[in-house]
Amino acid sequence: MKRLLPLILIICVAFPLVAWTNSSAFSQESTQEEKKHDDEHEELEKEMKRLKRATRRLKNSYRNEKAKPEDVLPNLRKCQKALLTAKVLFPSELKGDKNVKKRNDYQTIMIDCLMASLKAEKAALAGDMKASAKAFKEMLSNQKSGHDKYRE
């Protein structure tokens, strides 16, 4: 019986202790992971709100036939900054190994939207407000694709 005592101690005390330590470390890890997702989600929302404000102003400017390049350039640049940041922030349902394809598609739409905004800027810099307005429409159509596919 004396010889069995250390073995009994290991089974009754050491094993549960190790299991508890591991599970507590795991739960800490998953809480940190959840917090990271929440932060990213908040950041994505923030960038989308920035985009909304800038596109609202752009819609007004492009509606005005007398709009000049300097009326649209600052807001196009705000959109570009927001899209560049949002491009690497994913909604939580796109996380994980099985969603690589979806994430690539999501980023591709963001890039298309960013490229359309650059096209709108380039045309405005050349003084071609018609071409700039056309590229802005492209941005809005990219927004629609992104939202139809990935916004809940």
Using CB under 6 A, list all residues that contact ligand HEM. 41, 44-45, 48-49, 51-52, 55, 91, 106, 109-110, 113, 139, 142-143, 146-147, 150-151
Q: In the bound complex, what is the minimum distance in angstroms from residue 120's beta carbon to ligand HEM?
A: 11
Q: Please check whether residue 124 is in contact with residue 76, taking contact to mean a CB–CB distance below 8 angstroms.
A: yes
Rounded CA gap, 139 and 110, in Å?
9
Name which of 37 and 122 has its Cβ closer to ligand HEM: 37
Tell me how far, at minimum, the Cβ of 91 lies from ligand HEM, in Å: 5
Q: How far is the CB of 50 from ligand HEM (least distance, A)?
A: 9
For residue 43, the minimal CB distance to ligand HEM (Å) is 10
Residue 106 near residue 146, CB atoms below 8 Å: yes
Place of tokens 């005592």: 5
Residue 122 — φ and ψ, nearest 5°? -60, -45
Which residue minimizes CB distance to ligand HEM?
A: 146
Nearer to ligand HEM, 2 or 151 (CB): 151
Tokens 């407000």 belong to 129
What's the closest the beta carbon of residue 67 comes to ligand HEM, in angstroms?
Answer: 18
Query: Phi first, then psi: what are they for 133, rounded to 5°?
Result: -65, -35
Nearer to ligand HEM, 28 or 147 (CB): 147
Q: CB nearer to ligand HEM: give 72 or 139.
A: 139
Angle between helices 69-86 and 15-63 (to 10 degrees): 170
CA 23 – CA 17 distance, rounded (Å) = 10
